[in-house]
Amino acid sequence: MSENKNLKMQALEYHAKNRPGKIEVIPSKEAKTQRDLSLAYTPGVAEPCKAIFKKPELVYDYTVKGNLVAVITNGTAVLGLGDIGPTASKPVMEGKGLLFKIFADIDVFDIEINEKDPDKFIEIVKSLEPTFGGINLEDIKAPECFYIEQKLKELMTIPVMHDDQHGTAIITGAALLNAVELQGKKIDQLKFVISGAGAAALSCCKLYLLLGALPQNFIIFDIDGVLYDGREDFSHDKLQFVRHQKNKHLTLREAMSNSDVFIGLSVGNIIDENMIKSMAHKPIVFALANPDPEISYDRAASTRDDIIVATGRSDFPNQVNNVLGFPFIFRGALDVRATAINESMKLAAVHALANLAKTTVPDIVNLAYKEKNLSFGQQYIIPKPFDPRLISTVSPAVAKAAMQSGVAKKNISDWDEYEMQLKKRLGLDDQIMRALSIRAKRGPKRLVFADAENQKILKAASLLYEEGYAYPILLGDPKNINNIAQLNSIELFDIPIVNPRADTETATRNKYGAIFFEKRQRKGINSYESLKLMRDSTYFGCMMVEVGDADAVVSGLTRNYGDVILPAIQCIGMSDEVSRLAGMQVLLSKRGAIFLADTTVNYRPTAEELADITLRIAYHVKQFNVVPKIAMLSFSNFGSNRAPEAQLVAKAVRIIREKDPSLIIDGEMQGTFALNKELLKENYPFSSLVGQDVNTLIFPNLDAGNIAYTLLRDLGNIEIIGPILLGLKKPMHIINLGSTVRNIINISLIAISDAQIKSNSITLERSEYQKDWWQQLGGK
């Protein structure tokens, strides 16, 4: 079966499976009882109607209008299919609605209008203003699209945008700014060749002028050839770009010679290698025709080394995709109830996207695109569509521009809170980690990475230092570490590197070994072994923390859990008030943070041990500024099964209540009842957890805890932070084999917070933090 035929079958099956189409309406309120229905509809619905009649702006408080966008078309210019009519365009409009929802949590009704007359189309769309918070015009042919958008913007007091025009312009504008910077050129000196003279091409040209390009530096081609002064079949909007062009016989091949920028918004395979070779030094080529670009990425990139290439395809670097723009632009516009999407807002989106591409790429993006280490450069000039930072970067920029340009009817005062709300919309509510990051910035600590000869560790350390969260210390061979960093384009700044095996560290090893021997001399360790162990980076790192040369240590990326926990116990030791260590995971979900324990340390705790573990977990949950509401899990519910395993959990609950009566806790109980308030109230109304949002789950043994969290991690669309090792005197945390950079950073932030709580150790100023600080502090 050919690839195209296979794709056709898969696409048709995809659209038909389960229920036809790609979107549905889901109630946002409960509608399970007669009372619910009486509130949702008659008679209760009359109250918001009366309130809105008296004060129309209350429509944003009592209805979905403020989060509802209409995706509207007449089907006259659908993708590369042309005028296929409104009915056949519906799958595309549904697809656009899906993108609005998954990327920006915007609700959409797709509306396909059977009307080609521009004025009648305008009247129909205008009449929809009471329903929607914004209008996204889609797939309307030129030149009618220009007139339709302009008139609707004049007539309507909600934002209107024709994405085919402005979306492409905004994304290519951001990519252009970064490409120009990388190529070391000035935009007002660039010579542009534009292939295509439709809505998107003209909008791109106009936006590039706002970015600094000059109209006399553009040469535009359409299907009939070059646009020149005197040609009569083009609209007045294009006049400023063609009045300087006198040669009506100029070919695309001739125009490409010595040009700086080629923008293709036309048809595939019209550019060849010789045309690319004829371009000026360090050219920029955006070949954006779909599905086949004007020249393929591989052909263009292989023609010369100094070129930057972008296409509309996701299977090559530098994909120019409108999904980088429209969801987040409308999100920002809706959130301030903007009356329009103006040039200031578009430019704000351009600069936000361009700047985001220059920041360190999250590991989740690298994983999504099967990249090892994306970084700003020739093959990464624009963010990837699945970058989770887009919504909290672009939307605030657009909202601020709306406020500053006077089109916002609602102001945002707390931008940190707004960014948190944006993340929460997509289930990215990491307010706990946000709080930890803020805390870390206020008092960065010296954080040792024991497994530093690894690109994930180096990337995490670089990010932590760059963001001002920590002063990392890398343990390992400096040559290997620097080679790995260089190979993966990781900036190490002035992060110190200490090699525990080096001769230069003999005095330090002797010092640490002597202290270690004193701690372990009657516990099976001799003097020689103590010194030898100090060559191990985990032992060395733990001793750095133990003697105060560092504040916290992170290890375990390349080792088994048990091999890392032993040095921690031997070097640092357990806190005086605990009898055993415990491991905790933090699950970040739409319902908030849920703490899971014990997931890594204790195999089969007794009732007394389980009670001690729970009290330790409760203490640490409070350190996250969260009130622990604890469910003690079992296969039994409040004595429904008299098995010893169930009775053990019930006994642990009794012990905990005796030791700390203030704790909100109950059990033994099944996980279903712990997480379902209604079900718990209906079946066990006596439970102290009725009406509570349980946020802490205590498992009866290591089997249950470890299996549960690994299944959630690997099967659920949720983020799990951990394991967090609890019970040591000083901060030492273990990262699992194969952890992502994001998890390493999260564990590091927890280690820093732990260090801030447990000690008043010194915190260096950034100016003091340099490669030779290791020698300066005590002359080690």
User: Per the residue annotation, which of 96, 151, 445, 459 is the catalytic one?
Assistant: 96
Sheet holding 552-555, edge to edge: 497-498, 470-475, 445-449, 552-555, 732-734
156 in Cβ contact with 164 (< 8 Å):
no
Side-chain-facing half-sphere of 236: CA atoms under 13 Å: 2
What is the C-alpha to C-alpha distance for residues 92 and 751, in angstroms, rounded to an integer? 48
50 in Cβ contact with 40 (< 8 Å):
no
Burial category of 233 from C-beta neighbours within 10 Å (exposed 0-12, middle 13-18, buried 19 and up): exposed
Tokens standing for 123? Answer: 């009247």
Task: Output Rg (C-alpha) for the chain, integer angstroms.
Answer: 31
Question: Nearest CA to 398 among 68, 174, 649?
Answer: 174
User: Per the residue annotation, which of 14, 41, 62, 528 is the catalytic one?
Assistant: 41
Give alpha helix (H) positions in 161-220. 163-183, 199-210
What is the C-alpha to C-alpha distance for residues 201 and 208, in angstroms, rounded to an integer? 11
What distances in angstroms separate CA 637 from CA 605, 614, 671, 672, 694, one per listed residue? 20, 19, 10, 10, 16
What distances in angstroms separate CA 479 from CA 398, 426, 455, 580, one per listed residue? 45, 42, 14, 39
- Residue 136's H or E segment, with its range, is strand 134-137
Angle between helices 455-466 and 478-487 (to 10 degrees): 80
What is the C-alpha to C-alpha distance for residues 316 and 311, in angstroms, rounded to an integer? 8
Side-chain-facing half-sphere of 266: CA atoms under 13 Å: 20
Question: Is 41 annotated as catalytic?
Answer: yes
Tokens standing for 217? Answer: 């530096």
259 in Cβ contact with 154 (< 8 Å):
no
Please list the residues that pair with 78 across neighbouring strands.
82
What is the C-alpha to C-alpha distance for residues 212 and 200, in angstroms, rounded to an integer? 19
What is the C-alpha to C-alpha distance for residues 53 and 49, in angstroms, rounded to an integer? 6
What is the C-alpha to C-alpha distance for residues 423 and 426, in angstroms, rounded to an integer? 6
CA dihedral 29, 34, 39, 42 (to 10 degrees): 130
Tokens standing for 106? Answer: 């915007």
What is the C-alpha to C-alpha distance for residues 199 and 137, in angstroms, rounded to an integer? 12
Question: Which residues, other chains included, contact 682 with Cβ-Cβ below 8 Å and sequence gap of 6+?
Answer: none
What is the C-alpha to C-alpha distance for residues 583 and 708, in angstroms, rounded to an integer? 13
Question: Nearest CA to 229 among 210, 209, 215?
Answer: 215
What is the C-alpha to C-alpha distance for residues 596 and 227, in angstroms, rounded to an integer? 66
Q: Which residue is associated with the tokens 């066990």?
A: 684
- Looking at the annotation, which residues are catalytic? 41, 96
